Amino acid sequence: MDTALDRAVRVFCERGYHATSIGDLTAAMRLATGSVYKAFRDKQAVFLAAFDRYAAVRREQTRSAAARGSNGRERLRHVLLSYVEHSQGIEGRRGCMVVGGTVELAALDSDVRARVNAQIETNEAFIAGLIREGQADGSISAHLDVDDTARLMICITQGMRVVGKARLPLDGERLVGVAMKLLA
Amino acid sequence: MDTALDRAVRVFCERGYHATSIGDLTAAMRLATGSVYKAFRDKQAVFLAAFDRYAAVRREQTRSAAARGSNGRERLRHVLLSYVEHSQGIEGRRGCMVVGGTVELAALDSDVRARVNAQIETNEAFIAGLIREGQADGSISAHLDVDDTARLMICITQGMRVVGKARLPLDGERLVGVAMKLLA
DNA sequence: GATAATAGGGAATGATCGTTTCCTAATAAA
DNA sequence: TTTATTAGGAAACGATCATTCCCTATTATC
């Protein structure tokens, strides 16, 4: 079932919610219509389950990227680099379910809105934590405002997903190099 | 007709393309079904016309925000402030047609993709121009890479529209204050 | 003032959507 | 072996969608 959900994630990422029909879903998930409705109450429930799975995978990927750094600053740098990588190429143009869900459904579906908000706030708190770690280990200036910087970083990461979906090229090293100025 | 198009912009911003029915459109535009199809070939044509109008208005708003500054740095600061303002409150949760069009349609419709790309690139070029002005008048460091900085600024502005649609609060002065570090 | 032309409105249409229902096959229990 | 239970598949349903067609005013022309 998780593998079927992974396939649903890909379709929802690429086509969004409304442009994805049950037919698209059954084709991607290799399940018949009845089977989908046996496993999920309706289309929204498939979307929510796919979103939860997507969010969990992305959280894990972000945390493992952070683990590649040896201090707070480096951990944050790897997180940003990871975001650029995921915003590019085939995955970049496929798109992000968080920004997709936000843009397409935040105004129409309070369940989706609650989940995207939770995911954004979790990411923001994680970034804020990395900044504090950097301040504690001396790799990041102690004077900067943690919350404001974290929120701007969230804007940057979400924006990269938009720009990546528009297929504009993003140079990871250069872009992140500029973004690291925010830690001064 | 421009006033009807303005009303179409509001609906498309809020609900996106696929969740907006012709019924939604006719109700908002105060036009009957036949009248809409007399003026536009199909729903996509309405969207493209609304997008063009939205993009033109936003370009003008951004340029008038820039005009409030007395040097390159200040002009850029006012542009960013303007973006935060538009990303907040009722307009913020209504959403941006550029990020909406990108996220919902860039993968599905090459006409829309061409237009969102053009709009993003125009904005990026405008920001790059402001940075160069600032470098020329001494208000922005001469050492920074203009293109990389402009692209990151675009990520920030697009990201703010996503975060604003998710209804997370954005403090303009604080956020822009942090972002201005990128000009060091 | 009569007529042609056009803009706008609303009902009808075919297609597609999400959803339900029913059927089949496979597995577990007795 | 037989029966009960369940997972999976496909056809059928009503609703809604984008689109077309036709009618009615209104304006402009002669």
d(CA A56, nearest CA chain B) in Å: 19
Is the residue at A29 inside a domain? no
Q: Closest nucleotide to residue A41 (Cα to C1')?
A: C19
Structure confidence by residue, pLDDT tens digits, A67-76: 999 999 999 9
CATH number at residue B88: 1.10.357.10
**What whole-number percentage of chain B has pLDDT above 90?**
97
Alpha helices in chain A (DSSP H): 2-15, 22-29, 33-39, 43-66, 72-87, 89-94, 97-105, 110-137, 146-165, 172-179
Print the SS3 string covering chain B: CHHHHHHHHHHHHHHCCCCCCHHHHHHHHCCCHHHHHHHCCCHHHHHHHHHHHHHHHHHHHHHHHHCCCCCHHHHHHHHHHHHHHHHCHHHHHHCCHHHHHHHHHCCCCHHHHHHHHHHHHHHHHHHHHHHHHHHHHCCCCCCCCHHHHHHHHHHHHHHHHHHHHCCCCCCHHHHHHHHHHHHC
Is the residue at A6 inside a domain? no
Q: Which residue is nearest to nucleotide D23 (CA to C1')?
A: B34
Tell me how far apart the 2 most distant CA atoms of chain A are, in Å. Answer: 58
Average pLDDT estimate for B65-83:
98
Is the residue at B39 inside a domain? no
Average pLDDT estimate for B113-118:
97
Structure confidence by residue, pLDDT tens digits, A20-58: 999 999 999 988 898 899 899 999 999 999 999 999 999
Is the residue at A107 inside a domain? yes
Please tell me if residue A117 touches chain B, with a CB cutoff of 8 Å.
yes
Is the residue at A2 inside a domain? no
Q: What's the mean per-residue pLDDT of chain B?
A: 96
Is the residue at A84 inside a domain? yes
Structure tokens at A46: 């498939």
Is the residue at B105 inside a domain? yes
B106 and A99 Cβ atoms separated by less than 8 Å? no
> How many structural domains is chain B composed of?
1
Angstrom distance, B108 CA to C18 C1': 21
Return the pLDDT at A2: 74
**pLDDT for residue A1 is more than 80:** no
What is the domain extent for residue B161? 49-183
Is the residue at A42 inside a domain? no
